């Protein structure tokens, strides 16, 4: 079984992110950096919600899969995910001609389940409360000799996601003062922190699921409480961040902020007014910005909207 | 009264569009050209729905207003529009420090009325069925010595909208085989046809409001019938196109296609799946493409999604 990354021991770095950018350039969409009206040209939205597959995940997944040795590709890949990583891995596998098995919770949004199937992946469902997705995925990978692709705890995945940070600095023509990023396991935010070392990174999480925020404040990893409240942010429901994402963010001096459900929904409505469909988890950074929880800084503020995969009925309820 | 453009007699041209592109570069958003998944990289959406103000209209309005002589600016501008042109003129006027009066139908979408007011314009409402907006606007302009800014029948406006075509060719790195464009009065489609003369332009209109399509087929301007059916495409309800937009499109060999309400709504749901909010009229080109009414061509097909200004409740009903 290949549970560990092939470059276990190597640490994610800006150099690795530059190499990832070259590797994925022909595959991923260079998503737009859009000005937020009436902010004097100092606040921008990085609309990664318009990425192929509707989220940033393709960047890390393709960067990881493209580095699997050709002789190992036939055995395929295994991943577990509530949805966006699933789609990223399924699409990357399809592009590289590799079989993919994705372990998904039975209560994942239908739109995410359907899209993953449509990309040609085999889906294995599990019960979030009684089964361990890690154990199911590890057993599947062992059985097939397939590579297990983690959703955030992996050097190549973090470096792939970090290309979002390179693009922001390139599109802006300068490093922004701060970038606010939705955070589940921390792959995207850690990658961005490594990509633009002179920028303040602020992670945004749903209330009760703000474990990275609390971990950064405490200087050690703290888990999500077992009785954490319900949240519409299915993409950000990670019980524990990884040593490597936490360390990258802590070393960069990142801090965090939490958004209420009402603030998340208000942010989704605001994004709608700009023409952007943003899913709840993808709107967490915009939510803490609009709520004033994260103050303005001298210079540019960039808000990452990280995904758009939301069931239409749920979206209609929130918008209408 | 300045009903006519200051450059009446001049014909819209590619040279004028290149000059417009320089004039508006610092103001407008370079909207993204997004690949449509599973089309082998040959079909693209030009997401002009993400333009400042949620539609392409700022391009033409700013190009027109920026050419008003400084000594004439204090008297301001007058425009009539159901919404998107209103917002474009109001925003351009605000940027140039000019007062703006906008004549809008009382039944315009609330989201468009509110956004126009928020930009600092004065709104004058009229009844679509019993009053002439042309007469009201002309009287207001005469009274104030203000410049009347037409929504499509104007050289500068057409040249401003044509910058969309320049951007498409630049972003693609080549001229596409065809560009499908939503069409009301034809300012956007005529501008694009002039900007990329080697590209087949196809205009898309709602069924019953497909007067440009029928005009291009007949070789002369035909009006919308008085008993035209209801349509959700408020932005495309133009009773008669202009000589200058018709002539530009006819000379370029453009043709057209019509979309049903069901096809428009299906296109809005498809765009939602890509993370894009598109208003009914803005989805007309995507609708005729998805319905197969406009066949593929050897080379690239670009679909313009021209606006995102739709009332949230109406959107929720269509999506949910």
- The residue extents of the domains of chain A are 11-55+156-319, 59-152
pLDDT digits (tens, 9 = 90+) for A218-252: 999 999 999 999 999 989 998 999 999 999 999 99
Three-state SS at B45: strand
Class of the domain covering B11-55+156-319: alpha beta
Specify the long-range contacts of residues B133-142, CB closer than 8 Å, at least 24 apart.
B133/B80, B133/B103, B133/B105, B134/B80, B136/B80, B136/B103, B137/B78, B137/B79, B137/B80, B137/B103, B138/B1, B138/B3, B140/B78, B140/B101, B140/B103, B141/B1, B141/B2, B141/B3, B141/B78, B142/B1
CA B66 centroid distance within chain: 19
Determine the residue of chain A that is closest to B41 in CA distance.
Answer: A27
Q: How far is B275 from chain A (nearest CA, A)?
A: 5
Between positions 47 and 76 of B, the ones with CB within 8 A of A are 47, 49-50, 52-54
Q: How many residues does chain A have?
A: 320
Confidence class for position A3, pLDDT limits 50, 70, 90: very low
Same CATH topology for B11-55+156-319 and B59-152: the answer is: yes
> Which of A31, A111, A277 lies closest to B277 in CB terms?
A277
**Contact flag B320-A308 (C-beta cutoff 8 Å):** no
Interface test with B, best of A275, A283, A310, A314 (most B CBs within 10 A): A275
Whole-number pLDDT of residue B82: 77
Residues in chain B where the model's pLDDT stays below 70:
1-8
The chain-wide mean pLDDT, for chain A, equals: 94
Residues A160 and A62: beta-carbon distance below 8 Å: yes
Which positions in chain A touch B54 (Cβ < 8 Å)?
273-275
**Contact flag B54-A315 (C-beta cutoff 8 Å):** no
Whole-number pLDDT of residue B7: 61
Between positions 184 and 213 of A, the ones with CB within 8 A of B are none
Fold classified for B59-152: Rossmann fold (3.40.50)
pLDDT digits (tens, 9 = 90+) for A137-168: 999 999 999 999 999 999 999 999 999 999 99
Whole-number pLDDT of residue B6: 56
Interface test with A, best of B272, B275, B304 (most A CBs within 10 A): B275
Which positions in chain B touch A173 (Cβ < 8 Å)?
none
Q: Which two tokens stand for residue B219?
A: 């070789």
In this complex, is the C-beta atom of A274 within 8 Å of any C-beta atom belonging to chain B? yes
**Contact flag A308-B274 (C-beta cutoff 8 Å):** yes
Q: How far is B28 from chain A (nearest CA, A)?
A: 10
Q: How many CB pairs under 8 A join A and B?
A: 86
Q: Which two tokens stand for residue A48?
A: 């990664």
């Amino acid at each position: 079984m290949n549970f560990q990354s092939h470059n276990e021991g190597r640490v994610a770095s800006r150099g690795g992110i530059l190499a990832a950018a070259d590797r994925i350039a022909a595959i991923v969409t260079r998503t737009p950096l859009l000005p937020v009206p009436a902010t004097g040209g100092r606040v921008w939205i990085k609309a990664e919600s318009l990425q192929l597959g509707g989220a940033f995940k393709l960047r890390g997944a393709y960067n990881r899969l493209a580095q699997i040795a050709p002789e190992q590709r036939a055995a395929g890949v295994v991943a577990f995910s509530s949805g966006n990583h699933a789609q990223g891995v399924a699409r990357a596998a399809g592009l590289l001609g590799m079989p993919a098995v994705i372990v998904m919770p039975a209560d994942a949004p239908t739109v995410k389940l359907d899209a993953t199937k449509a990309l040609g992946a085999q889906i294995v469902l599990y019960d979030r409360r009684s089964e361990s997705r890690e154990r199911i995925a590890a057993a599947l990978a062992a059985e097939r000799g397939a590579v297990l692709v983690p959703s955030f705890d992996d050097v190549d995945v973090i470096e792939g996601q970090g290309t979002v940070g390179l693009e922001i600095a390139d599109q802006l023509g300068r490093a922004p003062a701060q970038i606010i990023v939705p955070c589940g396991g921390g792959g995207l935010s850690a990658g961005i922190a490594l990509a633009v070392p002179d920028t303040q990174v602020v992670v945004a999480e749903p209330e009760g699921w703000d474990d990275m925020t609390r971990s950064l404040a405490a200087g050690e990893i703290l888990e999500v409480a077992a009785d954490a409240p319900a949240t519409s942010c299915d993409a950000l429901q990670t019980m524990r961040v990884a040593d490597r994402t936490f360390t990258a963010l802590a070393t960069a001096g990142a801090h965090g902020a939490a958004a209420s459900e009402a603030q998340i929904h208000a942010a989704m409505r605001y994004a709608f007014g700009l023409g952007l469909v943003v899913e709840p988890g993808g709107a967490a950074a915009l939510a803490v910005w609009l709520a004033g929880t994260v103050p303005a800084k001298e210079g540019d503020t960039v808000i990452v909207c990280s995904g758009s995969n939301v069931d239409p009925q749920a979206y209609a309820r929130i918008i209408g």
